[in-house]
Structure 1
Amino acid sequence: MHSASRSMRCGLAVVGLWLFLLPDATGIIIRDDRPDSDYVVADSDYPALVDLIERGDCIATLVHESYLLTVAHCAAEVNVGKMLQVNGVAYTVAEVILHPRWNRRRDDYDIALVRLAEPVKGVTPLPIYRGPEETGSLITLVGRGDSGTGVRGERGASNDGKLRKCTNVVSQVNDHFIEIFFERPGEEGITALEGVGAAGDSGCPAFIEVDGVAHIAGLNSWGDGPRGVRVGQYGAYDYQTRVTHYLEWLDSVVDFPDPPAVRTALSIMDLSPVFPALGSLEGISLTFTTAIGKSYTVEQSPGLVSWRVRQSGIQGTGSPVRIILPAEPESWRARFWRVREE
């Protein structure tokens, strides 16, 4: 495990000068006002995820029939000849490929590939993200590390071997990392399944959905917090290796498969402006169908490429839901909207 680097802390202004070094954040820590069962997912939902060191200690993701993607500080502990289970089938590690500029004393370039001796059959590789800047995007982390709540964070966490997923919104990025922030229940911007990393699952994928398909945008790497906030507590920061920064290197090693077919997002039944009795545009009204037990995110885009979260954590009722979002400059003109399930 490693701690935050000076270069990262200076590069992200929100983190500022008040941070102190903490262990890396690499599992799933959840809200204290939601049941743990809301976060637990079946292994069969993510057959491309592979326990790299042992169950609950480092994860890699199948991105090509013969390659796994993970963080370098995990891959460095894997030896050629090791047997890995991919969806219950054993495969032999043929080669470990660390980024050539990674070293153990720094967090930068924390990315690696693991080549398998035989191609994986029966499991679809997951695509990597190649879109525009990730700031404002909703991400989903999936991991098997220590789990607890934001009250005590990593210090109060334990590992039961279960796979969990959580969501968050990208607060900012730099060349090497994607940053997310752990909001407290009731704070503006919190998602329905808000969470961050903790010990045990370095390398777990952070997904951004593109046209209904989950793409790997980040790899959980490390965590930090302002003075008095420990890893995994409310108010902590979590950092994912930013995959788009390493596309040139990745493409030089792997001949990635074509991206998956586009899947249509949820349809919006009604989209209309809201005007007061007299005056300018006040808001945008959206109505869309929902299912009981599901939660939804509304996103906005200037050109169908980069999407920004306008509201998340909208609870489904089994009936159409109408929300009104405050108007922003150019909210009505030259904008696109979509609703998707979290």
Structure 2
Amino acid sequence: MRLSTARRTSTRQIASAAIAAGAVLGLVAASTGTAGAATPTRPGRPDSPIIGGTEKPVGSYPFMAALLSKGRGNPHDRQFCGGSLLDPSIVMTAAHCVVDVRPKQLETVVGRTVLSKKNQGHLRNVTDIVVHPRYARGQEAYDIAFLMLDKPVTGIAPVNLPTVGTDALIRPGAKATVIGWGNTDTEVPNYPDRLRAVDVPIVSHIECKASYPGYDKKVNVCAGVEGKDSCQGDSGGPMFRKLQGRRGVYQTGIVSYGDGCAAQGAPGVYTYTGSAKLWDTLDESAKGRMVKQLLGR
């Protein structure tokens, strides 16, 4: 799900855990605020899907993670956000996906392409959740969180991050890729079982500010065009680029919020993973300092 008018994960949905596994998830319009979570067995999907994308073959993006509410039901019905493997023991996601959620309510699977295929990927429990301290205090631009896993994920290369403080990978007009299991239809909600991807153009800070007056260019980046965008259910997932001559991918963004999905003049807003301000202010909490130390940043 994305934040703002329509793409953010709602903790109110997380609280609706009593729905039986396999039931169809209802769409809930997410507000910019978040309600306190109850005792869920399955968080609801955020408002962000892949619009205008294509299905991907098994194993296409092994670093991709799905956040699932704990339960016995079909993983396709329990998935509510995306994430990415940042370190063998850390999954990176959006703060709005997990704020006020307890680790025991979640599990994550890394390296799965088809959500319902339980033999794919590496399923892990979550031992701790680290939400960016500024997001926790109400500054929603700092939409990043880290899930500490009960045991490392082996055999999968984590994503690479941009050099802190640089903007070379977010030049306006450059193409980036967004992946997820989010909604694929703006008229009739449809959440796919198989991972999808779409290429989107980076949008300039000036243009993004025109669409979102509260946009923070120090921490955010915009991408998308009419007909191609992330949407409900994609929140927390990665936006990335592949660089010629380099192995792996460079994750430039985390799906955060947007006004609707794939609408003209309303690109998606992403937490920029190369932001110096984003990483510097992690030091404002003990858990944030711990994450930086583990990542060597």
TM-score by length of 1: 0.56
1:29 alignment counterpart? 51
Q: Could you tell me which of 149, 167, 176 is aligned with 1:139?
A: 176
Which of the two has greater strand per residue?
A: 1
Q: Is 1:218 matched with 2:248?
A: no
Partner of 1:71: 94
From 86, 110, 114, the equivalent of 1:86 is 110
AA matched with 1:160: P
Map 1:5-84 to 2 at 5 A. 26-30=48-52, 39-53=54-68, 55=76, 56-76=79-99, 78-81=101-104, 82-84=106-108
Q: How does 1:1-342 map to 2 (within 5 A)?
A: 2-3=3-4, 26-30=48-52, 39-53=54-68, 55=76, 56-76=79-99, 78-81=101-104, 82-87=106-111, 88-103=121-136, 107-130=140-163, 131-133=166-168, 134-136=170-172, 137-148=174-185, 154-173=186-205, 174-183=217-226, 195-211=228-244, 212=246, 213-224=248-259, 230-245=260-275, 246-248=278-280, 249=282, 252=289, 253-254=291-292, 255-256=294-295
Question: What is the distance in 1 between the residues matched to 2:266 and 2:122?
Answer: 37
Contact conserved, 1:139 with 1:208, CA < 8 A, in 2? yes
Inter-partner Cα distance in structure 1 for 2:177 and 2:126: 28
C-alpha displacement at 1:182, in angstroms? 1.2
Amino acid at match of 1:200: G
Residues 22, 231 of structure 1: 8 Å contact kept: no
Residues 71-107 of structure 1, C-alpha deviations (whole Å, 9 max, x = no match): 0011226422343223333222111000001148653
Following the alignment from structure 2 to structure 1, what is the Cα–Cα distance between the partners of residues 177 and 158? Answer: 17
Following TM superposition, where does structure 1 have runs of at least 4 consecutive aligned residues deviating by more than 4 angstroms?
21-25
Q: Which has the higher helix share?
A: 2
Deviation, structure 1 residue 52: 0.7
The letter of the residue matching 2:109 is: Q
When the two chains are superposed, the root-mean-square deviation of aligned CA atoms in Å is 2.9
Q: What residue in structure 2 maps to residue 12 of structure 1?
A: none
CA contact (8 A) 1:48 1:62 kept: yes
Percent of aligned pairs with the same amino acid? 24
Q: Work out the CA distance in 2 between the residues paired with 1:43 and 1:197.
A: 20
Displacement of 1:233: 2.8
How far off its partner does 1:42 sit?
2.6
Q: Tell which has more relative contact order, 1 or 2 (C-alpha 8 A, sep 6+).
A: 2
2:226–2:263 CA contact under 8 A, matched in 1: no
Task: Name the amino acid aligned to 2:221.
Answer: I
Aligned with 2:59: secondary structure? helix
Deviation by residue 1:233-288 (Cα, 9 ceiling, x = unmatched):
34432111111122333984243379xxxxxxxxxxxxxxxxxxxxxxxxxxxxxx
CA gap of 1:180–1:86, structure 2 versus 1, over 3 A, is: closer
SS in 2 for 1:244: coil
**Is the CA contact (8 Å cut-off) linking 1:205 and 1:216 kept in structure 2?**
yes
Listed as ranges, the gaps of 5+ residues in structure 1 are 5-20, 31-35, 149-153, 185-194, 225-229, 259-342
- Rg comparison, structure with higher value: 1
**In the superposition, relative to structure 1, how do residues 182 and 95 fare at CA in structure 2: closer, same or farther (>3 Å)?**
same
Question: Partners in 2 of 1:80 and 1:25 — Cα distance?
Answer: 22
Letter paired with 1:198: C
Over 3 Å counting, the alpha-carbon distance change for 1:92 and 1:183 in structure 2 is: closer
Change (3 A) 1:92 1:67: same
Q: TM-score, normalised by structure 2?
A: 0.64
Where 1:210 maps in the other structure, the secondary structure is coil
Q: Tell me the number of residue pairs that the alignment of Structure 1 and Structure 2 aligns.
A: 216
Deviation of 1:117 (Å): 1.8
